[in-house]
Amino acid sequence: MKKNLRLPHRKTTSYQLLQIALITMVIAGSLLSGTASAQIKDVPPDSIRYAGSVYQKIKPKPTYPKVVGYLSFILPLETLSAGKFTPNFSHHASSIGFPVGVNVLYSERFGFSYELTPTIKASGGSSKVSNLLIDPGTMFRFDHGFTIITRLAFETSGRYGFTPVFNQVYARSKAVNYFVALSLPNRFGNNDPYSLGLNLQIGFTFN
């Protein structure tokens, strides 16, 4: 007995093809919209977009040796001498220094600093330049802008010694870097007893 095979109706076939086409268009549209949104997405300023991908820009490494100058002022906070603490603003007298210098950076971790510090002392309603400090030293540089400086100290007042300095960069700009430092001057000589001080220094280096 012969059975007649029923061929798919032309309208049914066309409807299925239309459904497949619509589904394909919806999927393609969602993919294109995702790609478009990714293309307009902001990228960091130190990155670049190429061929739909984001690449990190290669930062040029600084060349060494590098020479930078700096300006600052320094306030003696406290001095210990002969077992007695003396604050800076005691007995209606105060002093302030103005360290200026040049740092020669030999690498990311090491440098050498040349510094001169004239000091102005105010007392009894008058002021004068009371001392000039010459204090070169080696720089040991660490991450995040922290530096330890070991300085020798030679003063025109006749005192001498050494000064460890703990320096931290707290703000950066294209032109200058701002730093704050604490120093511990150890002094001998000139027929005076040994003294240990605590100083606060604030300044900026030129990039």
What angle is formed at CA 88 by the lines to CA 83 and CA 90, rounded to 5 degrees?
Answer: 80
Torsion (CA) 104, 106, 110, 116 in degrees, nearest 10: -10
Average pLDDT over residues 13-25: 64
Token pair of 121 as six digits: 């002392």
Structure pTM? 0.70
Place of tokens 């902001």: 42
Token pair for 157: 């007042």
66-206, what's its fold?
Porin (2.40.160)
Domain residue ranges in the chain:
10-56, 66-206
Distance CA 111, CA 109 (A): 7
User: Does 39 score more than 50 pLDDT?
Assistant: no
Which amino acid is located at 17 in the chain?
L
Q: CA 77: distance to chain centroid?
A: 25
The DSSP call for residue 107 is: S
Q: Is pLDDT at 5 greater than 70 in this prediction?
A: no
Per DSSP, the three-state class of 30 is helix
In tens, the pLDDT along 58-111 reads 667 778 999 999 999 999 999 999 889 989 887 778 999 999 999 999 999 999
Kindly report the number of other CB atoms within 10 A of residue 168's CB atom.
14
Q: Please give the Cα distance from 182 to 201 (Å, whole number).
A: 6
Q: pLDDT-derived band of residue 36, with 50, 70 and 90 as boundaries?
A: very low
pLDDT category of residue 112 using cuts at 50, 70 and 90? very high
pLDDT of residue 91: 72
pLDDT digits (tens, 9 = 90+) for 133-174: 999 999 999 999 999 999 999 999 999 999 999 999 999 999
Percent of the chain topping pLDDT 70: 72
